Amino acid sequence: MQNYEVPEIDEIQLSKIEDVNISAAGFIGYASRGPIEGQPTRLTSISQFTRIYGEPLGTDFEYRFLYYAVEMFFYNGGDVCYVMRVEGEPNPDTFLGTYKPDGHSTGLAAFQDIEEVTQLTMPGVTIPTVLDGLISYCEKRNCFAIIDAPVDMKTAAALLTYRNHFDSSNAAIYHPWLLMFDHLLKKYNYMPPSGAIAGIYALTDNTRGFYKAPANETIRSCTDLSVSFNAADQDKLNPKGINLIRAFPRRGCLVWGARTMSSQSDFKYINIQRLLIYLQKVIQKFTKWALHLPNDEQLWQRLTSTIQLILTEVWRNGALTGASPGEAFYVMIGRSTMTDDDIQNGRIVIQIGVAPMRPGEFIIFQITLQQ
């Protein structure tokens, strides 16, 4: 067997696992000015948004909510986001855009080269065909979509009908809309919740951990809701993957759900899906060295050891359950996970099982490294 050198993962490198951030959000929408081609703009404050994209749009724009969503993102705990402005008719071509390697990408497609972004939203956009494209992009790119329901949906039945159009573990839907101050109109107005929710994801990541449910958090700057749902509505909607925002005395408006829109029971919780997104990003980052080495048993053994070290560190940090690493995860790489065609064509297929909720009950996912 050929011998070759591979890097060791030491304690210093393992400490960098926590540097992998999955709380940066991406926003796509209309603004009064700013670039419509190229890479999305990285922002760390609403004042930066205003300098580049201008003040809020007027009421003659149906989808005028980009400014407010970014504002609510920062109000509610977000620290880094990326913005891509669009122009044109509100249809799939406009919002989904086109990827161009020459640097002139548009819409959602412009995020293709931005690895930092793992959650995406189009504030206030409720067109099913557009959202289908957003969700499909997130499924392919290891991201998570935050979806707004239409503001005029007032009943549990209407919400269920709308929600049933979607089925994905890479997306979550929230309702109702939030009453907040409209800087342009100088009065309170209803705004879509997605920007605030993205901020709460970041807040949860930074204060409790990305593996905790982003729920039971108060939405800052929200004074009321477009419709009030009760406990009976909650009992109907929550199991179906509709995350309600509810108002409670002395506590304000709280996020009262943390479910994806998946029909698969293993992937029904947002924190579980975001954990898997995190693990795939960490593992891919720390195994890039394997892409230029022979796809043989020695490589598989070293990859297994590397991934085990990574998952052990994640387990120690509290993201996986179990009294021991053996109860928390397993890693398989070899002829049981790869065909001869995979091996000959440089595809390293890795099967990983993790226990985020109950020891020894594994959620299984697969990572393929292409040499």
User: What pLDDT score does 357 carry?
Assistant: 79
DSSP 246-279: EEETTTEEEE---B-B-SSGGG-BHHHHHHHHHH
Q: Does the pLDDT of residue 5 top 90, yes or no?
A: no
Number of compact structural domains in the chain: 2
Contacts of 222 by beta carbon, 8 Å cutoff, 6+ apart:
178, 179, 180, 196, 245, 252, 253
Contacts of 300 by beta carbon, 8 Å cutoff, 6+ apart:
333, 334, 348
- ∠ CA 37-147-217 to the nearest 5 degrees? 115
DSSP secondary-structure letter at 289?
G
- Looking at the domain assignment, is residue 282 inside a domain? no
**Of the candidate ranges 1-15, 149-163, 292-306, 313-327, the one whose mean pLDDT is the lowest:** 1-15
User: What pLDDT score does 1 carry?
Assistant: 42
Q: Does the pLDDT of residue 37 top 90, yes or no?
A: yes
- Statement to judge: residues 159 and 92 lie in one domain: yes
Q: Does the pLDDT of residue 363 top 80, yes or no?
A: yes
Contact status, residue 215 vs residue 269, Cβ threshold 8 Å? no
Contacts of 198 by beta carbon, 8 Å cutoff, 6+ apart:
25, 69, 73, 78, 81, 119, 121, 146
- Statement to judge: residues 295 and 153 lie in one domain: no
Contact status, residue 9 vs residue 17, Cβ threshold 8 Å? no
- Statement to judge: residues 191 and 322 lie in one domain: no
DSSP secondary-structure letter at 91?
S
Contacts of 240 by beta carbon, 8 Å cutoff, 6+ apart:
160, 163
- Statement to judge: residues 52 and 178 lie in one domain: yes
- Alpha-carbon distance of 132 to 165, in angstroms, equals 9
User: What pLDDT score does 285 carry?
Assistant: 87
Q: Which residues form the domain of 295? A: 287-370
- Looking at the domain assignment, is residue 278 inside a domain? no
- Looking at the domain assignment, is residue 272 inside a domain? no
- Statement to judge: residues 170 and 124 lie in one domain: yes
Q: Does the pLDDT of residue 301 top 90, yes or no?
A: yes
- Statement to judge: residues 78 and 122 lie in one domain: yes
- Alpha-carbon distance of 362 to 279, in angstroms, equals 14
- Looking at the domain assignment, is residue 265 inside a domain? no
Phi, psi (5° rounding) for residue 132?
-60, -45
- Alpha-carbon distance of 321 to 355, in angstroms, equals 6
What tens digit of pLDDT does each residue of 201-218 get?
Answer: 999 999 998 889 999 999
User: What pLDDT score does 19 carry?
Assistant: 67
CB atoms within 10 A of CB 2: 8
Collapsing DSSP to helix, strand or coil, 368 comes out as: strand
User: What pLDDT score does 62 carry?
Assistant: 92
What tens digit of pLDDT does each residue of 220-255 get?
Answer: 999 999 999 999 999 999 999 999 999 999 899 999
The amino acid sitting at 9 is: I
pTM: 0.92
Place of tokens 């107005």: 189
